[in-house]
Amino acid sequence: MKIAIDGPAGAGKSTVARALAQRLGFVHLDSGALYRALAWVALREGVDLGSGADLAHLLATCRLAPLPDGVSVEGVALGEALKTPQVDAAVSQVAWHPAVRSEMVRIQRQWGEGRDLVADGRDIGTVVWPEAEVKIFLTATLAARAERRAAEQPGLDLAQVEEEIARRDEKDSARSVGPLRVADGARLVDTTALTVEEVVDRLVELVRPKP
Ligand code: DC
């Protein structure tokens, strides 16, 4: 069974997807971490973020692989390094290239083959697994999303975080391949006024409705 959770930056997708997967005994695929990992290697290697061909070549050679709940590059798991402002600033540009996206979709489908999983991202219900049994579009106001991001990384200026998220949403929504949009058949869940627990309860109810 596949559960697809899409939505804008800071809506709580990864936190909620991880908790939901745990409750259901499924694995969690954090697709944003894949794009972040490629941005991280590209910055490290000084690859031109404007070149889809160079990024696709890097993706084919850096041994990027999903892990349950994370990602590894060259066999090494990456964690907090993926959450830096430098990666935040680069990732939408990396994710914009069709050549990068098509390979990322292939990697995700291959990894998910035969697995029960909860995957979160921007194009899971529209492109990666349009046949997912349950599709959710998780959203919240821009202010709430910026506050959550800022709380995760103390020291960041709230107004700047808000600006950065709005810029990323705009770029993620405007691209021609795999743009952020509500998938056909997706249920909209607004998390602005809900705790993580409350969101997960609601999603469990969508996945396994009480008789
Ligand atoms: O979910 P996140 O903030 O970690 O995602 C980081 C970026 O990766 C996001 O700005 C857009 C891109 N992304 C994407 O284009 N497609 C996905 N399925 C997941 C993430």
Catalogue all structural domains in the chain, each as residue range(s) with its CATH number.
2-204 (3.40.50.300)
Handedness of CA 176, 178, 180, 186 (dihedral sign): positive
Each residue's pLDDT, cut to its tens digit, for the chain (211 residues) gives 999 999 998 899 999 999 999 999 999 999 999 999 999 999 999 999 999 999 999 999 999 999 987 899 999 999 889 989 899 999 999 999 999 999 999 999 999 999 999 999 999 999 999 999 999 999 999 999 999 988 887 888 999 999 999 998 998 898 899 899 999 999 999 999 999 999 999 999 999 877 7
Helix (H) or strand (E) holding 58: helix 52-61
Q: Which residues contact 52 (CB under 8 A, 6 or more apart)?
A: 97, 98, 99, 100
CA of 198 to the centre of ligand 1 (A): 24
Of 140, 122, 128, give the one whose Cα is nearest residue 182.
Answer: 122
Which atom of ligand 1 lies nearest, measured to the CA of 124? 18
Q: What is the pTM of this model?
A: 0.94
Mutate to test the pocket of ligand 1, among 15, 35, 64, 181 (most ligand atoms within 8 A of CB): 35
